[in-house]
């Protein structure tokens, strides 16, 4: 009897140790998500007028993607996409953005990345801008995040009067979990406060659990704000100062990971929610709110020192939709069998960027009004209509346009007439894409 009890105890201890060991092998995950930062707004992507040494060093530690996309041209739908691995239309958040008077948000039946990783044993933290519903039922604590510190929507909505709706927004609310802790915080210090909060969470984490940190900075969304220590630092003015402070934030978090001895087993993902408003899209055509490349192709850096090779540039097309299934793979998380995902597991590419090639697949571009305007397949991109970024008075009605993005990154040479068969094929992809 005593012997059997002892055997059961040994088995329980073994199972517990095995579980802890398995969790210790799971990588920590940080998604550093900026707001309206363009493809050309980092030094390693050709930025001028300011320096981003921490982002550039991060790129040298892993993979810098040059065909990295978000599934929307503006804030809310892009955030829905990164957290669900699904085109925003599936969650009904594909049109425009949510406002302080909006009654809806990310539906609770959506299975978020935070819920996925929490079910796999992760601590889950959201710091910064949420913008997926400010009503309590839609806030981060009800969407899989253990802790939240930040604001529920964009910083330009602070105390804003919406004349069409006759609605006066309140001062920008700052929350800690479900508790409103401050009205109209001084935005000069938001980047600093989010960084300090993130560092605090990392230092005070449960040592027996891996963590997800979703750090969604408000900047460089207008109105621009920067702390006094970075004011006047760049030769590009306030915008450059703001980017330099975001770069400082990257450095502070990386330094903390190293000091805690967990940098090597942390996946650090740096990207933006859409193209620039005030910043640079580099050689790309268009900007935020447009389905030209400048509106949806963004910086994309992925680092995992323990697994991913250093100093790689990868031209394979992928998007934030791919993060959900890829991170699930590396975290050992189970994706429900009935969950429809639009992203693909690209983990093999992350581990072997020199040799691994992705099978060609369509990527669809949804406009700010929710309409489907373009598709990319391989090196080809077909535009079928244009709601923004086209001057109809000067240029007339928009005509169907086909571009070879491999040798025409700026989308200047419409070759639709030369490739009627290809146009037909790409149009059929759009017609078959029914959500």
Catalytic, 75? Answer yes
181 contacts 174 by C-beta, under 8 angstroms: yes
Q: Which two tokens stand for residue 406?
A: 């491999």
Helix H segments across 161-209? 190-203
Which helix (DSSP H) or strand (DSSP E) does residue 351 occupy? Answer: helix 347-351
Q: Which of 90, 125, 332 is nearest to 216 (CA)?
A: 125
Cα–Cα distance, 327 to 325 (Å, whole number): 6
Cα–Cα distance, 301 to 136 (Å, whole number): 33
Q: Which of 239, 228, 112, 351 is nearest to 130 (CA)?
A: 112
Cα–Cα distance, 146 to 7 (Å, whole number): 36
- What is the DSSP annotation of 82-120? HHHSS-GGGGT--SS---TT----S-TTS--HHHHHHHT
Q: Which of 44, 94, 126, 131 is catalytic?
A: 131
Cα–Cα distance, 307 to 125 (Å, whole number): 24
User: How many residues are present in the chain?
Assistant: 435
188 contacts 165 by C-beta, under 8 angstroms: no
Residue 150's φ and ψ, nearest 5 degrees, are 165, -160
Q: Which two tokens stand for residue 60?
A: 């040298």
Cα–Cα distance, 109 to 279 (Å, whole number): 36
Region for 244 from its dihedrals, namely left if φ exceeds 0, alpha if ψ lies in -120 to 50, beta otherwise: alpha
Catalytic, 131? Answer yes
CA 375 to chain centre: 20
Q: Which residues pair with 401 in a beta bridge?
A: 383
Provide the annotated active-site residues.
75, 131
């Amino acid at each position: 009897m005593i012997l059997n009890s002892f055997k059961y105890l040994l088995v329980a201890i073994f199972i517990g140790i095995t579980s802890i060991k398995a969790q210790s092998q799971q990588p920590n995950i940080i998604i550093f998500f900026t707001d309206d930062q363009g493809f050309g707004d980092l030094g390693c992507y050709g930025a001028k007028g300011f320096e981003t040494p921490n982002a550039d060093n991060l790129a040298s530690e892993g993979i810098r993607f040059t065909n990295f996309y978000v599934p929307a041209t503006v804030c809310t739908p892009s955030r829905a996409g990164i957290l669900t691995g699904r085109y925003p239309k599936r969650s009904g958040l594909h049109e425009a953005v949510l406002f302080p008077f909006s009654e809806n948000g990310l539906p609770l039946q959506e299975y978020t990345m935070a819920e996925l990783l929490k079910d796999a044993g992760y601590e889950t933290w959201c710091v910064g801008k949420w913008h997926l519903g400010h009503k309590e039922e839609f806030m981060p604590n009800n969407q899989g995040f253990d802790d939240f510190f930040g604001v529920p929507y964009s910083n330009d909505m602070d105390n804003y009067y919406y004349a069409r709706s006759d609605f006066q927004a309140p001062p920008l609310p700052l929350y800690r979990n479900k508790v409103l802790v401050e009205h109209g915080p001084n935005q000069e210090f938001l980047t600093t406060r989010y960084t300090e909060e993130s560092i605090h969470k990392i230092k005070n984490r449960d040592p027996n659990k891996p963590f997800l940190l979703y750090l969604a900075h408000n900047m460089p969304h207008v109105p621009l704000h920067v702390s006094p220590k970075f004011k006047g630092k760049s030769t590009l003015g306030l915008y450059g100062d703001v980017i330099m402070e975001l770069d400082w934030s990257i450095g502070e978090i990386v330094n903390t990971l190293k000091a805690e001895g967990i940098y090597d087993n942390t996946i650090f993902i740096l990207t933006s929610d859409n193209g620039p408003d005030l910043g640079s899209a580099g050689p790309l055509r268009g900007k935020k709110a447009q389905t030209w490349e400048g509106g949806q192709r963004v910086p994309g850096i992925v680092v995992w020192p323990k697994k991913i090779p250093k100093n790689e540039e990868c031209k394979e097309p992928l998007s934030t939709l791919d993060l959900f299934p890829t991170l699930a793979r590396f975290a050992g998380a189970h994706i429900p069998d009935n969950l429809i995902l639009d992203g693909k597991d690209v983990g093999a590419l992350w581990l072997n960027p020199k040799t691994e090639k992705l099978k060609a697949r369509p990527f669809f571009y949804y406009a700010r009004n929710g309409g489907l305007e373009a598709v990319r397949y391989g090196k080809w991109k077909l535009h079928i209509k244009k709601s923004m970024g086209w001057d109809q008075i000067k240029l007339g009605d928009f005509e169907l346009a086909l571009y070879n993005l491999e040798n025409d990154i700026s989308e200047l040479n419409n070759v639709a007439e030369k490739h009627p068969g290809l146009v037909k094929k790409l149009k059929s992809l759009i017609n078959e894409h029914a959500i």
